[in-house]
Amino acid sequence: MHDNVTIIIILIAIVSITLLTVALLLASIVRRGWHSRMHRQLDALRKTYRDEVRQAIASGEEIATSEKKFRFKPGSLAWQAVEEVLQELMAEKGQTGDVEALFRRLGYVEFYENRLSRRNVLIKASAIDKLGKMGCLLSTSRLVPLLDTNDPEILSVTVRALSNLRSKEGLAAIIERLPTLLGKSLVTRKAMETALLKFGGEAIPFLTDYREDPNDPWILSCILEMLSILPPDPRSLSLAIKYLGSTHPEVRSKALKVIGSDGYAIPSHASDLVLPLLNDPVWFVRLQAVKSVHELTRESTAKLLEKLLFDENWRVRSEAALALTRIGSYAVDVFYDALKTKDVYAKESICEEIEKTRFSDWLIKHLDDDDKTLRAKCHEILRLMHVLGFSMPLTAYVEAGENERIKQAVRHLLASGVER
């Protein structure tokens, strides 16, 4: 009797599990079918309203008329379709003003602003993101208070939304909260850089005039990093020069990065501050110092860079070789001496940069120079490169070069063979 009861219980359990599995499978099939049908309807509505909305905007139709035609119940498929069409148009230049007005008149801005008070993080974050993409500057005042939350996700999406709106009120609010946003790592430096880049030059005075806790090395380095990716500006350069002598290597490094950015020419008084940093005890400071001296083509600069060809850090070595290829004849003596040392690894790094930057073409060209000393040094550098296996520029010149005397000199180099 007991065994029969056990069997019956097991059979009931098996049947129940089977029925539940079938029910879940059927529910999944029904749900998938429903979603598929909904997406087909949404695609059809998008196609319809895409043409109608574009036509309404192109014809200069009054907003009130468009409001009657395209206002639908929030959350409906037609509502979603029109919203997506407006987002597409918002991304197109020349349409932003009309589209922003439609977002407001059709109730999208109000709908998502009301969602900012929701406790659900996903719903709130989605609403913030949508408002940022709608281009309504009036939403700035509703978004700024969200910068005071402690939720990293909300903070990040709010910074991004405000950067999309590009209002000065939003920019000022972000800069004021830098210690919170960056100091506590609630928003990553990269996310902040991406956001402020959208403000362009408008962000520069806010960053350079930042005064709260100006001696915090982390905040200072972040500000300088952001200035290095923004358009060149005298105020950015002035701030960078001010902090070249900082006791914090991260700040020195970022100050040099600003100075080394494209578009800046190092003032004569600043060069005396930059050059000593080529000997900085911290490798990443030396690296940025090398990158920042590309405008200095003095012989003394080449001599300072010579030491860095044998730096303990490979990135500094490569960057020093690259910098030397940019300063022309001043680099010849340095390369000539460096390639005669016994450090094969350093010599190969130098040859690689000479070849990669096509400085080898400059050397080949001067094989026919009137200056015998320069001609001899260029010849010797190319010979040493050939010995190390960097012969491609030589063979290329033999095939396509125009100067027959240079070709003859190159053939002689190639015929000398490669010996390690």
pLDDT in tens, 304-362: 888 898 899 989 998 998 888 888 788 888 998 989 888 888 888 899 989 998 999 99
**Residue ranges of domains in the chain:** 297-420
To 5 degrees, how large is the angle CA 86–CA 88–CA 92?
105
The share of the chain scoring above pLDDT 90, in percent, equals 31
Mean residue pLDDT of the chain comes to 85
- Residue 319: which residues within 8 A CB-CB, separation 6 or more? 287, 290, 291, 308
Report, as an integer, the average pLDDT of 210-226.
Answer: 79
pLDDT in tens, 131-150: 999 988 999 999 999 998 88
| pTM listed for this prediction | 0.72
Give residue 419's pLDDT.
Answer: 47
* Residue 360, both tokens: 């080898």
Report, as an integer, the average pLDDT of 372-377.
Answer: 91
Using a 10 angstrom Cβ sphere, with 0-12 exposed, 13-18 middle and 19 or more buried, the burial of residue 355 is middle
If one compares 118 and 420, the residue with the highest pLDDT of the two is 118
Q: How many other CB atoms are there within 10 angstroms of residue 49's CB atom?
A: 21
The CA–CA distances, whole Å, from 83 to 53, 125, 201, 264 equal: 11, 17, 31, 44
20, pLDDT greater than 70? yes
How would DSSP label each residue in 89-144? HHTSTT-HHHHHHHHHHTTHHHHHHHGGG-S-HHHHHHHHHHHHHHT-GGGHHHHG
pLDDT in tens, 341-357: 888 888 888 999 899 98
CA distance 71 to 56: 14
The owner of tokens 């001899």 is: 376
